[in-house]
Every structure is written in C-alpha cells, then in structure tokens.
Amino acid sequence: MESKADTYGIIKIEDLSNIDFSQVIESNQNTVRKSLDLSKFVIKWNSENIPSFITNGTVIPLQILNQLECIDLMQTSEWSEPTPPPFE
C-alpha cells in the first residue's frame, strides 16, 4: 500500500490563531516549528486533505512544499542556528 504524501505550508506568524489544529498534524500553537526571527511557522497536512482554512482563503501560505523541499528549507540560516566549528 502506497503511503500518503504530506504537504508543508510556510505560514505568516500573524495567521497562527487562524489554524484549526484538528486539520493538521501539529497539535497546537506550541508544537509548530517557527523561523528564528519568529515571522513564520510550518504546518503539515496529508496531501489528500487540504485544510479548509487554506481552501477558503482564511490562511494563504507563503510557500507550499513537499517533504524534501521542507527539509532543505529547515537547514537554511532562516530556520536553523549555524553549527559552531568543532574545538581543536
């Protein structure tokens, strides 16, 4: 059986209160991953069940990504602290 793909949305922090957490994989406002400057966050949903708050235009994602695209984005300086060089 083929697994269902997940879709990731990058959302403006101002829209956090508009997220219906019963329609996404995250549990609540405290479990979303936020950008380092706290201007954006990520939500994830099953591709076959687009959340109604997106389809009705209440929340307009800045980006919609697949898993690999999201992993790449999370490794950027906007989302992750740089790893310090090892001590010698």
Domain assignment present for 26: yes
Instruction: Look up the domain containing 37 and give its range.
Output: 6-74
Q: How confident is the model at residue 2 (pLDDT cuts 50, 70, 90)?
A: very low
Domain assignment present for 84: no
Domain assignment present for 11: yes
| pLDDT, greater one: 66 or 3 | 66
Written in H, E and C, the secondary structure of the chain is CCCCCEEEEEEEHHHHHHCCHHHCCCCCCCCCEECCCCCEEEEEEECCCCCHHHHCCCCCCCEEECHHHHHHHHCCCCCCCCCCCCCC
Domain assignment present for 81: no
Domain assignment present for 86: no
Domain assignment present for 85: no
Domain assignment present for 88: no
pTM for the complete prediction? 0.87
pLDDT in tens, 11-53: 999 999 999 999 999 999 999 999 999 999 999 999 999 999 9
Number of domains in the chain: 1
